[in-house]
Structure 1
Amino acid sequence: MYLFILILRNPISTLRFLYTWSTLSVIVILRRILVPHISQYQSTRVQLQRAYLLSCSSTFPDLTHRLPVGQVSQVRATPIGTTGFIGYVIPGSQSPILDGLTKSFHRTQCVALYAHGGGYARGEAKMYMNYMERWVQKARESGLDLVFLSVEYPLTDKASHPAQRDAFLKAYQYLLDQGISPDNIIFMGDSAGGGSCILSSIECLSTATKNRQLPQPAGSILLSPWMDMSMRAFNGGNALAATDYVNANRDIPILVKKWLQDKVAPTSPQVNPLYRQPVEIEGLNPQLILVGAAEFTLPEAKDWAALCERAGVRHRLVCEWGQLHNYALGSAWVEPAIRNRTDASIVSWMQMCLGGN
């Protein structure tokens, strides 16, 4: 319904979107037909996906994930509102798992505390319901009861750093206050949400936070994490913008400025985990890093994995050939084999972390 309203209200932008998408798609197909002997890095499917997402980002950015989500039944998403944060239990029909976890520690039950992406400036907690429901089903097939608590943190038009991280930590504190063991909790997030998971995990290591009794969660799952506010990969321009759909060379500096508002230096360890010393992240929970090899966050994902290596933090870095930003969400554009392989990695990482191995 929202899609049709958007089209009716913006006829000129709609024509521009259709023109851009169709033109880029024709170029992809013609290149395959006319110069088949020229090696190409990305598959036709990925290039057509990029054509669609590029068209969205230049005309209707919210179309990428069909925002806003609007009203949904509590069977799919049950709202939770307490002091300091708002969130949704997804799927809502599995919320009794939260009650069951307060009684005893079960290695077959997991709460994924989720921070959505959007550069801290866009997005909402319910925007990945379809993906979360798929992960819940995949986990169930592997004998794992999984439920998500997706955090509705304030966007940068309302508040700058550290409001987003603090909302995430308040949601974590809420779970702990319910009697849920940290051994049952996984931090999970995409893009800026992945960065927020890292910052929150590091905050749990600090002396001040330890006094608030915030332990490390069982593990973290980072989907295309965005964390390098210093933009080192953009010195001279980030060439990966040519294979990704995010106009990173233009948009990332804007998003950084909105989030920091010149209150914190982009190289400060408080906002940029890549400027931490290895000793500062010793004891961090296990980190699964999933990144597309054609996306703009690839350099910082590799840098974070290298820092974890030096600090002795258990981690796994997966660079999927030719894939775009947030490929690990597993949208309909992603090849089924890649989606299934990625889902299996996510579920197995959860099981490994819950098992304490």
Structure 2
Amino acid sequence: MNPDPSPYDRRPSMQSRAISRALRLGVRPFVSRLPGNPVSLRTARTAADAAARLIRSGPRVRVQQLIDPHTDTTSRPVVGEWVTPIEPTAEDSAILYLHGGGYVACSPRTHRPITARLAVDCDLPVLVPRYRLAPEHPFPAALLDAVDAYRFLLGRGIPGSRIVVAGDSAGGHLAASTVGEICRTDLPAPAGVVLYSPWVDLTCELAGERDRQCRDPYVSVAAARLAGQMYVGKGDFEDPRLSLLTCPWTAAPPFFVQVGGGELLRAEAERLAEVLSAAGASCELQVWEGQMHVFQILNHVLPEARAAMLETARFVRAAIAASAVGGAA
């Protein structure tokens, strides 16, 4: 027996088990009814924003709102926020973070527990765009906004080789599809990609199979399937900008994927890792035993989440260093 297992192979902590039980009993029944109609969707957005206002960013980061003034009259300005260390040492690098929320809810504010920790652990500024949400703005609105945010970073003089694109859940899908679009449009490739519990299959076929094997503490297949339909709208689920498992990944930068061992989207993350590896792309997959969906957001209370964020920082530093040495632009 390995006396010192990897942090993601260890038995879940007492805090992790307690939180998972509480979510399964108190939150999943509520989430499973969302986003069933406009009223419940507004309720979900309001509740998420209200909860986010109770969370402090921490004393080691600065949050600044962004409205990009350098756009022509035909373009939508890049809006969102910068989350930066108080005294950053690297001004020529950045993380582009795309928040989760099923493409229908949440905001840069709701995900500050993750973005603030990334800024501190990686010692890098984090740009979090406020991309447009469905169903008011279906596909490809969010993707266009994410690519514009990447172009914004390039326009500030940050080379692609020093940018890491990251995201969680639906933001993980958006991060991966953004990188696919970057490769298709011949923009400078990023140094790497970080995905937390990525929602890979918007049809939810894999999630449906997984749900019969494992009861996720709070993610509902029915709610996820409806959110996917709201985002795709009149689009085609087989569109290569949406279908990550059929997207050609031959020119992809390195991927780093973390997923909870006890969550609904585990099979999707594992399948994506297989697809990336088959295409010759580098993908480091970490399955964190017993952890729930996007457990990294609880890094103030879960030891596993803190360890996961440190693992992320290791990957980010190595990806930027390797990309810079390789001469990527």
Shorter-chain TM-score above 0.5: yes
C-alpha distance 307-259 of structure 1, shift in aligned 2 (>3 A): same
Instruction: From 130, 135, 142, give the equivalent of 1:157.
Output: 135
Answer yes or no: is 1:76 the counterpart of 2:69: no
Q: Within 1, Cα distance between the matches of 2:210 and 2:121?
A: 39
2:8 counterpart residue number: none
C-alpha distance 173-270 of structure 1, shift in aligned 2 (>3 A): same
Q: What one-letter code is carried by the residue in structure 2 that aligns with 1:197? A: A
Q: Within 2, Cα distance between the matches of 1:43 and 1:340?
A: 12
Q: What one-letter code is carried by the residue in structure 2 that aligns with 1:183? A: S
Q: Within 1, Cα distance between the matches of 2:306 and 2:199?
A: 24
Answer yes or no: is 1:50 the counterpart of 2:16: no
2:85–2:119 Cα contact (<8 Å) kept: no
Q: Within 1, Cα distance between the matches of 2:213 and 2:99?
A: 22
C-alpha distance 175-240 of structure 1, shift in aligned 2 (>3 A): farther
Q: TM-score, with normalisation over the residues of structure 1?
A: 0.73
1:228 counterpart residue number: 201
2:182–2:189 Cα contact (<8 Å) kept: yes
> Does the residue aligned with 2:268 lie in a helix, a strand or coil?
helix
Answer yes or no: is 1:123 the counterpart of 2:106: yes
C-alpha distance 67-241 of structure 1, shift in aligned 2 (>3 A): farther
Instruction: From 256, 267, 270, give the equivalent of 1:302.
Output: 270
Q: CA shift at 1:217, angstroms? A: 0.5
Q: Within 2, Cα distance between the matches of 1:307 and 1:164?
A: 24
Q: Within 1, Cα distance between the matches of 2:159 and 2:227?
A: 35
1:224–1:290 Cα contact (<8 Å) kept: yes
User: Bigger radius of gyration, 1 or 2?
Assistant: 1
Q: Which runs of 4+ in 1 moved over 6 A?
A: 70-73
Kindly report which structure 2 residues correspond to 1:1-357, keeping only aligned pairs within 5 A, or say none.
44-54=14-24, 55-59=26-30, 61=44, 67-69=51-53, 76-82=62-68, 83=71, 84=76, 85-91=78-84, 93=86, 100-101=91-92, 110-139=93-122, 145-206=123-184, 209-210=185-186, 214-235=187-208, 238-239=211-212, 242-247=215-220, 249-261=221-233, 263-276=234-247, 280-334=248-302, 336=303, 338-356=304-322
Q: Within 2, Cα distance between the matches of 1:240 and 1:251?
A: 18
Q: TM-score, with normalisation over the residues of structure 2?
A: 0.79
Q: CA shift at 1:133, angstroms? A: 2.4
1:36 counterpart residue number: none
2:327 counterpart residue number: none
RMSD: 2.8
Answer with 152-161 or 111-120: which moved more. 152-161
Q: What one-letter code is carried by the residue in structure 2 that aligns with 1:174? A: F
Q: Within 1, Cα distance between the matches of 2:51 and 2:62?
A: 17
Q: What one-letter code is carried by the residue in structure 1 that aligns with 2:275? A: L
C-alpha distance 220-323 of structure 1, shift in aligned 2 (>3 A): same
2:103–2:133 Cα contact (<8 Å) kept: yes
> Does the residue aligned with 2:251 lie in a helix, a strand or coil?
coil
C-alpha distance 224-122 of structure 1, shift in aligned 2 (>3 A): same
Structure 2 unaligned spans of 5+: 1-10, 31-42, 324-329
1:89–1:95 Cα contact (<8 Å) kept: no
> Does the residue aligned with 1:242 lie in a helix, a strand or coil?
coil
Cα displacement string for residues 13-37 of structure 1 (whole angstroms, at most 9, x for unaligned residues): xxxxxxxxxxxxxxxxxxxxxxxxx
2:96–2:127 Cα contact (<8 Å) kept: yes
1:14 counterpart residue number: none
Q: CA shift at 1:265, angstroms? A: 2.6
Q: Within 2, Cα distance between the matches of 1:189 and 1:237?
A: 22
Cα displacement string for residues 158-194 of structure 1 (whole angstroms, at most 9, x for unaligned residues): 2001111110110110110111111111001000001
1:112–1:146 Cα contact (<8 Å) kept: yes
C-alpha distance 258-94 of structure 1, shift in aligned 2 (>3 A): farther
Answer with 263-272 or 62-71: which moved more. 62-71
Identity of aligned residues (%): 23
1:56–1:64 Cα contact (<8 Å) kept: no
2:203–2:225 Cα contact (<8 Å) kept: no
